[in-house]
Amino acid sequence: MLTQTELLTKKGEHIQQMFGSIASVYDLLNTLLSLNFDKSWRKFAVKVSNVTPGAKVLDVCTGTGDLAIAYSKVLNGGGKVIGSDFCHEMVKLADHKLRKKNLSNKIEVLGADTLHLPFQDNYFQVSAVAFGIRNVSDLRAGIAEMVRITAPGGRVVILEFSQPTNPLFKAIYYFYFKKILPLLGKLISRSKYNAYSYLPSSVLTFPDRYGLKKKMESCGLADVKIFSRTMGIVTIHVGKKSCK
């Protein structure tokens, strides 16, 4: 069994194994453990992307495809949406979900490592990620790849767990986040990798909202805006690629 220390090194094969072990209950746990807020978070991330009809959108670390689906709804049959993930089990489930929802003709899913995306430079108008960039072994390199495949004037969008700033709410939330959530996650997922103990640990060691903003700016993104949702549980960062 992989230890929390091993998982927090974010070695690719370890992350693949962990997410593969919870793939079948991933959607259920997202809904339960976020108290169903995850849907509104994705919807808001799409909204602040300022995506336009006919846009090409890439959702990296797509998981079972929920953010890609949210973008597809806004494009309303126009443009192009691709979801990529390096976990085979997740890609398989995403493909099944799209077929079930009759969305296979609107969204393509494929296996790909965010650190080595199989797309040409400047191809997408929006590259986005929801709750996935935190798991990439090299954060800066992952963001840089998202920037590379984004067209000048396009946007890079990162929806990620954050750290609440209100002291009272933070104390209540952290009790749930560090004590209750891992227990529920383990009971439901039965994952031998303790994936839902890894979740709070990875969030607490991830850059805060301003640290992530600086990281995005260091990758060449400008005018990075931060949107806080649900008392700071999550943040959406939106940066624009320079037209130069």
pLDDT at 11: 63
Q: Is residue 218 classed exposed, middle or buried when 0-12, 13-18 and 19+ CB atoms within 10 A define those classes?
A: exposed
Which of 61, 66, 201, 214 has the alpha carbon at shortest distance from 131?
61
pLDDT at 110: 97
Name the pLDDT band for 76 (thresholds 50, 70, 90). Answer: confident
Q: Where are the alpha helices (DSSP H) in 48-154?
A: 66-75, 88-100, 139-148
Query: What would the pLDDT profile of 118-159 be if each residue is shown by its tens digit?
Result: 999 999 999 999 999 999 999 999 999 999 999 999 999 999
Residue 32 pLDDT > 70 = yes
The single residue listed with the structure tokens 């974010």 is 10
CA angle 18, 140, 143 (to 5 degrees): 80
Contact 240, 154 (CB under 8 A): yes
pLDDT at 8: 53
For 44, the token pair is 């808001």
DSSP 8-state secondary structure symbol assigned to residue 112: -
In angstroms, the CA 35 to CA 113 distance is: 30
Sequence-distant (≥ 6) Cβ neighbours of residue 69 within 8 angstroms: 97, 98, 101, 103, 107
The residue-averaged pLDDT of 97-126 equals 96
pLDDT at 21: 82
pLDDT at 25: 85
The three-class DSSP label of residue 99 is helix
The whole-model pTM stands at 0.94
Total length of the chain: 244
The domain 4-241 having CATH identifier 3.40.50.150: the answer here is yes
Sequence-distant (≥ 6) Cβ neighbours of residue 167 within 8 angstroms: none
pLDDT at 237: 98
pLDDT at 68: 97
Evaluate the CA torsion angle 24, 25, 26, 28 in order and state its sign. Answer: positive
Query: By mean pLDDT, which of 113-122, 151-160, 190-199, 212-221 is the weakest?
Result: 190-199
DSSP 8-state secondary structure symbol assigned to residue 136: S
Name the pLDDT band for 23 (thresholds 50, 70, 90). Answer: confident
Query: What would the pLDDT profile of 55-70 be if each residue is shown by its tens digit?
Result: 999 999 999 999 999 9
Residue 212 pLDDT > 80 = yes
